[in-house]
Amino acid sequence: MRGRWSRNGLDGQMSVGRTWVSRWSSWLGLWLACVMVLPAFAQGRPDIVWMRGGHTDEVRSVSFSPDGSLLASGSGDYTIRLWRVSDGSLVATLTGHTGGILSVSFSPDGRLLASGSLDRTIRLWRVSDGSLLRTLTGHTGEILSVSFSPDGRLLASGSLDRTIRLWRVSDGSLLRTLTGHTGEILSVSFSPDGRLLASGGVDRTIQLWRVSDGSLLRTIGGHTCGVRSVSFSPDGSLLASGSGDYTIRLWRVSDGSLVRTLTGHTGGVTSVSFSPDGSLLASGGGWSDYTIRLWRVSDGSLVRTLTGHIGPVYCVSFSPDGSLLASGGVDRTIQLWRVSDGSLLRTIGGDHAGAVNTVSFSPDGSLLASGGGWDDPGLPGEMKLRRVSDGSLVRTLTGHSYSVYSVSFSPDGSLLASGSRDYTIRLWRVSDGSLVATLTGHTGSVTSVSFSPDGSLLASGGGWSDNTIRLWRVSDGSLVATLTGHTGPVTSVSFSPDGRLLASGGGWSDYTIRLWRVADGALLQTYDQETGTSILSVRFSPNGRLFGYGRRDATVVVARNPFWQNGDVNGDGCVDDADLLAVLFAFGQSGADLADLNGDGVVDDADLLEVLFNFGSGC
């Protein structure tokens, strides 16, 4: 396990997204006026199969290839990434834009990908090899939306310059510029037959255009904030619009009449998408909402609310067969959901709902536990158990009311201990994730937990306003001893391999390493030199001869344990036959080995003599 600490909590909390206000000032003022409230991060976390690394900035747009095998994502990190849907692997990263990517769209045959960017260009890419085919220029503002016509011959783009442009895909020539909106164009979408184009804008209207001659057929008003997303139903009879006024509206295309208004989002609606059969509509929520909602088109009823993103959901898209839904958001992740039951199948990108503060392997190496959460009040921490072999999520453990700072397995792997900012330690049964016990007594955050080698004791370190180490009996959760002496947060605790010593590291105003006798809690040694500006982690070597510690000033230190029993190769506190055999079997070997007792780089006569001279000691 490891942690990163600062006086105010976690050092380097995950930042949620990057603000582009300076680049988007012409429309964000209107947009944010309708949707901006203080974020309240989502707490529900569905099961995740596994996680892959991803973008380094917020994901603004996602799109499935027509055959459903690929997913494209566009991000504020200036890149487009192509992912294989079956396993979440990264197929290609497309680079070339000099600004964030706001929209991506596949051509109907899946051979091309179009991207629109803050750099005011549209780029056409060959999907098979990721090569750039063409850059379309002409817009005088950022490109907010791109969409292919159903036959793939035309590409529509909507921009901050308040125009829609129609381009011939074959040669990149500009066919027509459509003007009429009095505000920036936020979304464009072709009807299924390619005859109509719908556009939504900051001016709160939807406009329907005839593609053949560019004439404006109808202007539809009703939203009280900008129209962020528009989408035709598969049969072309309905048009859905999502707005900063927190609503989705369904319109009849033939006459522009309002069919239904869908309410429920608690923030602006940033994206809408029909399922391929037209029976469902998915919507993504913006600031203060962070949810995806599935609606039944026939009656407007809410089918399901999907929670998992920890920031605004910028984009939603169904797979071609309608079985999957992809969503992307400001939390830098793409999430794949099973439509039938709303379960989250895969997250590509960030995973924990906040910084990952600590990780720990199970003794047999089969599981990895991680703890994390937002270091803010009211936002609970969580632990995740993953199968090391394939990264799959075995279980998510929730219960702490604040961020989890430390996790540790018992030596037999049956229990998991967690320490949290909520001042408690919790013991969990690994086999089923049930809570075994909650240990209370610390008067500050619990920053470190560690089991004794025999699993009978648990040590915990307390943070600011506590500064103590506590020893607990695992069998019944009773407090055995409280060790005092540190004058600042205790950032790390570690038992020696024989269980007789406990090492602790102090942070901030303390700067010390302390060695304690476990039997009676006596302080044996205090180190206050060469400790830097804070001790973040301390551990004994496998045989206890050495201990290492990490300092806040980016320094790692290895030191000798003054209480180590000379000749004790395996660190069990007794120099016996096992230690003698260990030296004999390693005799003559060079390099790092526990049997190299004097640390001269080779197991030789000197090491053998050390065992013989101390034979029987400590037994």
- Please give the full DSSP string across 292-349, using - where no structure is assigned: EEEEETTT--EEEEEE--SS-EEEEEE-TTSSEEEEEETTS-EEEEETTT--EEEEES
pLDDT digits (tens, 9 = 90+) for 128-152: 999 999 999 999 999 988 999 999 9
What is the C-alpha to C-alpha distance for residues 87 and 48, in angstroms, rounded to an integer? 13
Q: What DSSP designation does 263 have?
A: -
Walk me through the domains of the chain, giving residue ranges and CATH numbers. 355-560 (2.130.10.10), 565-619 (1.10.1330.10)
pTM for this prediction: 0.49
Radius of gyration of the chain from its Cα atoms, rounded to whole angstroms = 30
Does the pLDDT value for residue 49 go beyond 70? no
Residues in the chain: 619
616: how many CB neighbours lie within 10 A of its CB? 9
Mean confidence (pLDDT) of the chain: 81
Measured in whole angstroms, the distance separating CA 124 from the mean position of its chain's CA atoms is 30
Q: pLDDT higher for 483 or 374? A: 483
pLDDT digits (tens, 9 = 90+) for 174-206: 999 999 999 888 888 889 999 999 999 999 999
pLDDT digits (tens, 9 = 90+) for 388-413: 566 567 888 888 888 888 888 899 99
